[in-house]
Amino acid sequence: MEDMPQHRIVIELDPPSGIQQRLQDRLSLFSVAATGVDRYYEFAILLKDENDSMLGGLLAELWGNWLHVKTLWIDEMERGKGYGRQIMECAEHLAMERGYRNAYLSTHSFQARPLYEKLGYRVFGELEDFPPGHSKYYMRKRLG
């Protein structure tokens, strides 16, 4: 019997973006092979001021007939002015233009759940006490 290679488990705290990207790429290749769905897009929508400084934005991905809103952030001084709603509607419109019909996201109890509910998102899951004293909500919406 030949000697088996000795593999090891390595913990990377705060892994470099290259490692993160490689893992995501490998999982994506597996997912495409398993489902046959290869249309995948990542995108950002940014809120900028007249000096081109970023005041907010959204990170999202499109895959499997779903828009996944991964991050939405608006600078504290700009909150309550409708920018979050406008950015979300822009992301949904982009998804619908490409034929995507569903959206999902997660948010914490101290974040933007009321905004998402006003936009038609509904809670389908809750992770209680994350972080302690708060909840994380998983929300979805049918687009169009």
Calculate mean pLDDT across residues 40-60.
Answer: 97
pLDDT (tens digit per residue) in 67-90: 999 999 999 999 999 999 999 999
Task: Please say whether the beta carbons of 69 and 104 come within 8 A.
Answer: yes
**pTM of the full structure:** 0.90
Which one is the CATH code of 38-142: 3.50.50.60, 3.40.309.10, 3.30.450.40, 3.40.630.30? 3.40.630.30
Ordered by start, the domain boundaries in the chain are: 38-142
Nearest to 73 by CA among 91, 52, 55, 94: 55
Residue 1 has pLDDT above 70, yes or no: no
d(C-alpha 130, C-alpha 110), whole Å: 11
Calculate mean pLDDT across residues 20-38.
Answer: 93
Residue 4 has what pLDDT? 77
Nearest to 99 by CA among 57, 46, 45, 41: 41
d(C-alpha 62, C-alpha 64), whole Å: 7
